[in-house]
Structure 1
Amino acid sequence: MAFALKGVAYITGAGSGIGQYAAYSLARQGVRSFALLDRNPVTTTVFQLKTISPDISVKEIELDVAKEAAVNDSVTQTVKEFGRIDYAVNNAGIGGSIKTTDQIDWDDFERVLAVNTTGVWLCQRAQIRQMLKQEKRSNSERSYRGSIVNTASMYGTLGPSLNVPSTAYCTSKHAVVGLTRADAIAFAPRGIKINAICPGYVATPLVMNSMNQGDVMNNERAKVPLQRLATMEEIGDCIAFLSSEASSYMIGSSMVVDGGFTIQ
């Protein structure tokens, strides 16, 4: 895929997993300026980006997406460094407890929503406010003031398996899909493109570790028609597509990338 992306990317949860590989995919398509945000170090991501192209510039920002002031400041820092934000990827998230409603504690439920839902909303609000101040990168009708991709989940489109009763996670990701649709409608006429990606089971370090702890994830993998997990690169490439002008007529979509899990 070649989308010839130019501009500035802002990626939360960029220190590992999908956020990390979203950065790599955007870099391979031409992005050379990155704000990488995570609660943990992004050292590995920065190193790999430099191997893709030594002229890549990176602003590293430690960020808890559930903190309003910190989110607003991170956007301010990014714009001060690079002048604008063209591609935002709101990817930071947590899994929470694998429990049903009668088992889960209030604190645990609220913590998952604070990061996965409120955190996405806080980031998206700050990004929209900035994007409304900047012009499109070109006069093409396929160009936007900015593009936002929110990481939801296939469990933002259906209920969780009986084997994986992740009530809080499922609730939070359904909310991300709703937020994406609401804001996509509101801001498409104003030149901002907003979509969500809904990955299925992905071979992240966390998932691979859980597969070594018992049969649950192996049983879930067996339900995937492709009979394998997605690679992080595959999800990153889909995020790059949603960020690009190749997806210019996609507004408020929930792009499911699950190996066929949800169509059974």
Structure 2
Amino acid sequence: MSFALKGVAYITGAGSGIGQHAAYSLARQGVRQFALLDRNPAKDTIRELRKNHPDVQVKEIQLDVADEAAVNDSVEQTVKEFGRLDYAFNNAGIGGTLDTTDKIDKDDFERVLGVNTLGVWLCHRAQIRQMLKQEKISESFRSYRGSIVNMASMYGVVGPSLSVPSTAYATSKHAVVGLTRADAIAFAHQGIKINAICPGYVATPLVMGSMNQGSVMDDERTKVPLRRLAAMEEMGDCVAFLHSEASSYMIGANMIADGGFTIT
């Protein structure tokens, strides 16, 4: 399906994984201007984008999403470079310690929430402030001043598996779901579309590196009705859909893409 997207995309955690593949998916749908943000270089993402889409324009920005001043500056840099900001994907996040509450240190808990919740909120806030200043990208009644997709998780809508006691992570992602719902209501009438994606287990390099006979992740895969992990490009396509006019009547949605894990 083609969504014929036009405009400027801003993606955190764009150097690898789902953020990287979201950039590829948006480019396939027509986006040609990207602000790619990561704590590490996004050179692989940029090289692949330019290989497949020679006309793409990229602004690479090193960013710690928990740094308020740096986040605000990154949005300002994006707008200075491209004139506006149409599609934001707040993807950067960390997994944190796999422990129950009685075993988690306060510093570890705060570190996970600092990136996964506060970091998303800081980016989200800066994006909203910019989008309120700009007009819709087209005259279509299905168009918006801007679209934001926040990275949540299937563990933002259900509790984590007993074999994966990711208490801090689940807490942070439940908070992202709440943020998405609250601000979707607050800004829908002002022309900003806000949704979240809730992936299940995805075959990222980190996850695949832990997959071996008898591993926890190998056991978790057997609980997925599709009996496989998601490909990163599948999650990228979900992000492109949520940014497109095909999802124009969706606000505050938490798009669960988990192979059926949460319905078993």
TM-score, normalising length from structure 1?
Answer: 0.99
1:1-264 alignment, distance < 5 Å: 1-212=1-212, 214-264=214-264
Question: SS at the partner of 1:198?
Answer: strand
Amino acid at match of 1:181: R
- Looking at structure 2, the residues matched to 223 and 172 of structure 1 have their Cα atoms a distance apart, in angstroms, of 23
Q: CA deviation at 1:14?
A: 0.1
Q: CA deviation at 1:51?
A: 1.6
- Looking at structure 1, the residues matched to 79 and 208 of structure 2 have their Cα atoms a distance apart, in angstroms, of 36
Amino acid at match of 1:119: G
Identity of aligned residues (%): 80
- Looking at structure 2, the residues matched to 94 and 155 of structure 1 have their Cα atoms a distance apart, in angstroms, of 13
Q: In the TM superposition, what whole-angstrom CA distance separates every residue of 1:62-118 from its partner, at most 9, and x where no partner exists? A: 000000000000000000000000000000000000000000100000000000000
Question: SS at the partner of 1:224?
Answer: coil
- Looking at structure 2, the residues matched to 176 and 131 of structure 1 have their Cα atoms a distance apart, in angstroms, of 20
Q: CA deviation at 1:212?
A: 3.4
- Looking at structure 2, the residues matched to 118 and 23 of structure 1 have their Cα atoms a distance apart, in angstroms, of 23
- Where does structure 1 lack aligned partners over 5 or more consecutive residues? none
Question: SS at the partner of 1:186?
Answer: helix
Q: CA deviation at 1:196?
A: 0.2
The RMSD of aligned alpha carbons is 0.7
Question: SS at the partner of 1:9?
Answer: strand
Amino acid at match of 2:110: E
Amino acid at match of 2:169: Y
- Looking at structure 1, the residues matched to 212 and 78 of structure 2 have their Cα atoms a distance apart, in angstroms, of 39
Q: In the TM superposition, what whole-angstrom CA distance separates every residue of 1:110-157 from its partner, at most 9, and x where no partner exists? A: 000000000000000000000000000111110000000001000000
- Looking at structure 2, the residues matched to 123 and 214 of structure 1 have their Cα atoms a distance apart, in angstroms, of 39
Post-superposition, which runs of at least 4 consecutive aligned residues in structure 1 deviate over 6 A? Answer: none
Q: In the TM superposition, what whole-angstrom CA distance separates every residue of 1:174-216 from its partner, at most 9, and x where no partner exists? A: 0000000000000000000000000000000011112138520
- Looking at structure 2, the residues matched to 229 and 76 of structure 1 have their Cα atoms a distance apart, in angstroms, of 37
Question: SS at the partner of 1:58?
Answer: strand
- Looking at structure 1, the residues matched to 208 and 255 of structure 2 have their Cα atoms a distance apart, in angstroms, of 23
- Where does structure 2 lack aligned partners over 5 or more consecutive residues? none
Question: SS at the partner of 1:207?
Answer: helix
Q: In the TM superposition, what whole-angstrom CA distance separates every residue of 1:28-83 from its partner, at most 9, and x where no partner exists? A: 00000000000001000000101221000000000000000000000000000000
